[in-house]
């Protein structure tokens, strides 16, 4: 049976990399242009400009030829000196990574350990800063991809301002996924990778700094070369290129993807992500599956599997038998979780596909549930909703 | 007149990025695959395996999601501790960069200053090492792109072995351009970027270490995270992925480009580059232009312009009026040099195009020369030569 369903068409609903629109793939397949030409200069200017509303900043957004982890390291080595202190929120694999990067560079990390699936509470940040008054920065994720959980970045401004610390946010699964208001929220550094809501293949990162973060970076001597952000800003703002050879095809792709995003309208993009996530959560409830997260992210939903069901097998069944790519859990959640991404080139209708495949995989594993209940819940949630923003704008009823 | 010649077709003969074959562009335009799947594992294995003959090594080649400069920094921070000494050859912009990276990380660089266009002499390396007996490594370029000059990497083994130093080679415009015999030449680190002879857009780098370099890297505590090569090796060798999100489209492109390269045969690829460079040099002589280099590289040829001719204008004329992309000089050679690349997706016949465009630009600048002399020299040099390797192999005459 399943074998009959697999054709050439593949669905990619992992929390990154996400499916890339054909328009973007074709743009990247254009003949290569040189990175020190006015032609490329216009492209990178457009890409950096187009990112600003996604970051919620009027400041400069700088591109890096690296993955999101490279941008995380850039944030650390441009803001802190070895031996300096920082607080970081470890509520999952990517929060833990802040700690590893800080340690690798000889900084002193004060960990706020948060149970997987829980958001950090602002008072925990406040306490950690009280206990580490020498801390110069707070590092966290806006959306912790490994636990599919939102941290309340928007509630931290008063705390970090009071303590005079920089607020550094990994926005890899939040920039372009839901509204970011970097300037309004007092975020000093926000960063992301190309392979999530930006709908570009991996290999490109973007980072923005507040004025006080730029000041700090410019005065800091921490060893760095490739990730020297002040040098990159100069090259990108003044020379309309990058300090070293620019990944031209990825930047071309990003400019095209941003054209699609702004063509659709950011609010609609965010509403689409939110509805897809909401429909997926409704399906989980209908199937009797619990969410890992107590504060679910709109970019990716993590479903806890019933005891005794091997999550790895579920993911492999969906991928190998049904051509539907989702991701399992990482580290302590390995084998216990299925993560379904809702970022970028995905619509609420795709939730039907993902949930149908999940139902089939669960059935194959012998899990008992009301067959079709998940799909029905998706349908109920999205019917009449998917087109709502468009109708509201055009004023036309059905 | 020139306006009548510009159509949609553009020629890219810069020394990188180079033109990417349509087969590679289309491979990269395939729907994105996840980087933690057996499908991607097979691709990255194939790419890493296919690179070994280009490096001339039986050792492991590791990919990095970065430009070539990122790989240069990786070499430094994986081999040296802050405060340690190293010798570096500064015979151009990229040699100078070794010095900047060493300084950025607090290492003590002993510079061998080489006049632009000259190769370093082995005895200079020997002298520098005598003067810096604490040096742990020698850093240089196999081919210095800014001066279009080859350094004699193949003659340094005895010297670095005697002094017990690691030999670290930037092969950005040599790997895949001409024969590299990393293992035989006693090279401890060789690195390159995707955008030269590998015929892939920029954004991917590759690096290989000798056994003693790996030992050094594993025991070293120099701050690094994203560029931790031992961690990357583990991820790529044992998990058939990368430590962080892999730039899947670039790796797909690399695997396809290597298929083209090995399909043609490495020796033929090298012969094609050599003949293209040779024909270009013959044209220069015919036009009365001198080469910057005393030991010209096969990947890129640097032609000195007559006094009073603005090199920037020549490059712009070729690009804007004739759609032929070449590059000018950097730093002290700015405005005085035209650099024509011969790497990757380029044939000896393309030398006709490049030299014709150069002749037209020189004429437009009022330079006096025998019109057509350059093109005739190219023709004379390549006639009956382009197909030579094929005939030799097949044994068939015309």
> A65 vs A333, A344, B8, B247, CA distance in Å?
31, 21, 29, 10
Would the CB atoms of B31 and A18 count as touching at under 8 Å?
A: no
Q: How many angstroms away from the CA of A398 is the closest CA of chain B?
A: 35
Predicted confidence (pLDDT) per residue in B61-114, tens digit? 999 999 999 999 999 999 999 999 999 999 999 999 999 999 999 999 999 999
Would the CB atoms of A226 and B325 count as touching at under 8 Å?
A: no
Tell me what the mean pLDDT of segment B253-274 comes to.
98
pLDDT at A388 over 60: no
> B53 vs B61, B179, B180, CA distance in Å?
10, 9, 8
The DSSP code sequence of A196-226 is STT-S-SS-EEEEE-HHHHHHHHH---S-ST
Contacts of residue B103 in chain A, CB cutoff 8 Å? none
Q: How many angstroms away from the CA of B130 is the closest CA of chain A?
A: 28
Q: Are B183 and B131 in contact (CB under 8 A)?
A: no
Nearest-CB residue to B247 (from A33, A201, A226): A201
- Residue of chain B nearest A26, judged by CA positions: B29
- Residue of chain B nearest A194, judged by CA positions: B247
Can you give the pLDDT at residue A3?
56
| DSSP code of residue B178 | B
Contacts of residue A66 in chain B, CB cutoff 8 Å? 65-66, 70, 226
pLDDT at B331 over 80: yes
* Interface-testing mutation among B172, B246, B249, with chain A (most A C-beta atoms within 10 A): B249
Paired tokens of A199: 């709908």
Paired tokens of A249: 């095809």
H or E stretch covering A70: helix A68-79
Can you give the pLDDT at residue A14?
96
| DSSP code of residue A296 | B
**How many contacts, defined by CB atoms under 8 Å, are there between A and B?**
174
Q: How many angstroms away from the CA of A378 is the closest CA of chain B?
A: 25
Q: How many angstroms away from the CA of B66 is the closest CA of chain A?
A: 5
| DSSP code of residue A32 | P
Peptide bond into B17 cis (omega under 30): yes
* All residues at 6 or more sequence positions from A102 whose CB lies less than 8 Å from its CB, including other chains: A76, A80, A86, A88, A108, A109, A139
Tell me what the mean pLDDT of segment A319-345 comes to.
96
Would the CB atoms of B34 and A12 count as touching at under 8 Å?
A: yes
Predicted confidence (pLDDT) per residue in A187-225, tens digit? 999 999 999 999 999 999 999 999 999 999 999 999 999
Q: Could you tell me which of B190, B97, B107 has the C-alpha nearest to residue B142? A: B190
Nearest-CB residue to A34 (from B26, B247, B325): B325
Backbone angles phi, psi at B299, to 5 degrees: -85, -25
Interior CA angle at B178 toward B175 and B183, to 5°? 60
Q: Are B52 and B209 in contact (CB under 8 A)?
A: no
* All residues at 6 or more sequence positions from A14 whose CB lies less than 8 Å from its CB, including other chains: A325, A326, A327, A339, A341, B34
Nearest-CB residue to A202 (from B69, B101, B246): B246
Which position has the token pair 């802190």? A80
Q: How many CB atoms lie within 10 A of CB B115?
A: 11
Q: How many CB atoms lie within 10 A of CB A10?
A: 16
Contacts of residue B328 in chain A, CB cutoff 8 Å? none
Distance (Å, whole) CA A65 – CA A204? 5
For B183, counting Cβ atoms within 10 Å of its Cβ (0-12 exposed, 13-18 middle, 19+ buried), the class is middle
Can you give the pLDDT at residue A4?
65
Paired tokens of A167: 């607020």
Peptide bond into A17 cis (omega under 30): yes
* Alpha helices (H) along A193-310: 211-219, 229-238, 248-264, 266-286
Q: What is the mean pLDDT of chain A?
A: 95
Nearest-CB residue to B69 (from A20, A33, A244): A244
Would the CB atoms of A245 and B25 count as touching at under 8 Å?
A: no
* Interface-testing mutation among B8, B16, B21, B29, with chain A (most A C-beta atoms within 10 A): B29
Contacts of residue B98 in chain A, CB cutoff 8 Å? none
Residue A330, classed as helix, strand or coil, is coil
Which position has the token pair 């700690």? A99
* All residues at 6 or more sequence positions from A264 whose CB lies less than 8 Å from its CB, including other chains: A272
Contacts of residue A37 in chain B, CB cutoff 8 Å? 319, 325
Q: How far, in whole angstroms, is CA A130 from its chain's centroid?
A: 30
Bridge-based pairing state of the strands A61-64 and B337-341:
unpaired
Tell me what the mean pLDDT of segment B201-206 comes to.
98
Paired tokens of A387: 């087109």
Can you give the pLDDT at residue A6?
72
Q: What is the mean pLDDT of chain B?
A: 95
Which position has the token pair 């039986």? B58
- Per-residue pLDDT band at A395 (split at 50, 70, 90): very low
- Residue of chain A nearest B202, judged by CA positions: A247
Bridge-based pairing state of the strands B327-328 and B337-341:
antiparallel
Nearest-CB residue to A17 (from B10, B28, B248): B248
> A357 vs A322, A338, A344, A382, B39, CA distance in Å?
7, 12, 20, 18, 20
Residue A2, classed as helix, strand or coil, is helix
Distance (Å, whole) CA B88 – CA B93? 12
- Residue of chain A nearest B13, judged by CA positions: A34
pLDDT at B387 over 80: no
A166: which strand partners? A137
Contacts of residue A319 in chain B, CB cutoff 8 Å? 37
Would the CB atoms of B70 and A65 count as touching at under 8 Å?
A: yes
Q: How many angstroms away from the CA of B103 is the closest CA of chain A?
A: 9
Contacts of residue B139 in chain A, CB cutoff 8 Å? none
- Residue of chain A nearest B172, judged by CA positions: A245
Tell me what the mean pLDDT of segment A251-271 comes to.
98
Can you give the pLDDT at residue A394?
39
Q: Could you tell me which of A204, A371, A197 has the C-alpha nearest to residue A277? A: A197
Can you give the pLDDT at residue B8?
84
Paired tokens of B57: 């090594």
Q: Are B328 and B316 in contact (CB under 8 A)?
A: no
Predicted confidence (pLDDT) per residue in B206-234, tens digit? 999 999 999 999 999 999 999 999 999 99
Distance (Å, whole) CA A335 – CA A321? 18
Predicted confidence (pLDDT) per residue in B165-198, tens digit? 999 999 999 999 999 999 999 999 999 999 999 9
Lowest mean pLDDT among A299-313, A376-390, B176-190, B318-332: A376-390
Contacts of residue B25 in chain A, CB cutoff 8 Å? 28-31
Would the CB atoms of A201 and B244 count as touching at under 8 Å?
A: no
Can you give the pLDDT at residue B4?
65
Would the CB atoms of A33 and B12 count as touching at under 8 Å?
A: yes
Can you give the pLDDT at residue A391?
41
* Interface-testing mutation among A64, A96, A226, with chain B (most B C-beta atoms within 10 A): A226
pLDDT at B396 over 50: no
Backbone angles phi, psi at B76, to 5 degrees: -65, -50
> B92 vs A288, B86, B119, B135, B325, CA distance in Å?
66, 18, 10, 21, 22
Nearest-CB residue to B223 (from A35, A105, A202): A105
Would the CB atoms of B225 and A201 count as touching at under 8 Å?
A: no
- Per-residue pLDDT band at A384 (split at 50, 70, 90): confident
Interior CA angle at A132 toward A127 and A137, to 5°? 95
Helices and strands (H and E) in chain A: how many: 15, 15
Distance (Å, whole) CA A309 – CA B360? 72
Tell me what the mean pLDDT of segment B270-274 comes to.
97
A168: which strand partners? A139, A189
Structural domains of chain A sorted by starting position, each given as residue range(s) with its CATH number in brackets: 2-19+265-390 (3.90.1150.10), 31-262 (3.40.640.10)
Q: Are B93 and B217 in contact (CB under 8 A)?
A: no
Q: Residues A22-42, buried b or exposed e (16+ Cβ, 10 A)?
A: eebbebbbeebbbbbbeebee
Would the CB atoms of A327 and B226 count as touching at under 8 Å?
A: no
pLDDT at A347 over 90: yes
% residues pLDDT > 90 (chain A): 94
Nearest-CB residue to B34 (from A17, A34, A35): A17
Rg over CA atoms, chain A: 21
Tell me what the mean pLDDT of segment B353-377 comes to.
97
Query: Whole-model pTM?
Result: 0.94
Would the CB atoms of A105 and B31 count as touching at under 8 Å?
A: no
């Amino acid at each position: 049976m399943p074998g009959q369903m697999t054709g050439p068409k593949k669905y990619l609903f992992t929390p990154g990399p996400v499916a890339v629109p054909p328009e973007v793939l074709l743009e990247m397949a254009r003949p290569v242009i040189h990175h020190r030409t006015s032609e490329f200069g216009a492209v990178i200017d457009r890409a950096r400009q187009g990112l600003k509303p996604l970051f919620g900043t009027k400041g400069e957004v700088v591109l890096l030829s690296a993955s999101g982890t490279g941008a995380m390291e850039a944030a650390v080595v441009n803001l802190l000196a070895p031996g300096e202190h920082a607080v970081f929120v470890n509520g999952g694999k990517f929060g833990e990574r802040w700690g590893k990067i800080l340690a690798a560079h000889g900084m002193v990390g004060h960990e706020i350990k948060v149970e997987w699936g829980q958001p950090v509470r602002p008072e925990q940040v406040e306490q950690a800063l009280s206990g580490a008054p020498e801390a110069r920065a707070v590092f966290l994720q806006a959306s912790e991809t490994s636990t599919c959980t939102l941290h309340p970045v928007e509630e931290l401004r008063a705390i970090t301002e009071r303590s005079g610390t920089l607020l550094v946010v990994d926005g890899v699964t939040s920039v372009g996924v839901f509204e970011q208001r970097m300037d309004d929220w007092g975020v000093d550094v926000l960063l992301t990778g190309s392979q999530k809501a930006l709908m570009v293949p991996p290999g490109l990162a973007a980072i923005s700094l507040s004025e006080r973060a730029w000041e700090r970076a410019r005065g800091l001597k921490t060893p760095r070369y490739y990730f020297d952000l002040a040098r990159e800003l100069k090259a990108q703002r003044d020379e309309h290129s990058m300090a070293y050879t620019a990944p031209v095809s990825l930047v071309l792709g990003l400019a095209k993807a941003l054209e699609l995003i702004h063509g659709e309208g950011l609010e609609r993009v965010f509403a689409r992500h939110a509805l897809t996530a909401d429909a997926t959560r409704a399906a989980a409830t209908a199937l009797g599956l619990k969410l890992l997260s107590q504060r679910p992210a709109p970019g990716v939903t993590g479903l806890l599997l019933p005891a005794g069901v091997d999550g790895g097998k579920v993911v492999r069944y969906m991928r190998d038998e049904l051509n539907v790519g989702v991701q399992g859990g990482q580290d302590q959640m390995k084998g216990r979780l299925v993560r379904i991404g809702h970022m970028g080139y995905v619509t609420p209708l795709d939730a039907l596909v993902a949930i149908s495949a999940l139902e089939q995989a669960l059935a194959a594993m012998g899990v008992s549930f009301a067959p079709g209940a998940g799909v029905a819940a998706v349908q109920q949630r999205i019917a009449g909703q998917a087109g709502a923003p468009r109708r509201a704008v055009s004023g036309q009823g059905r």
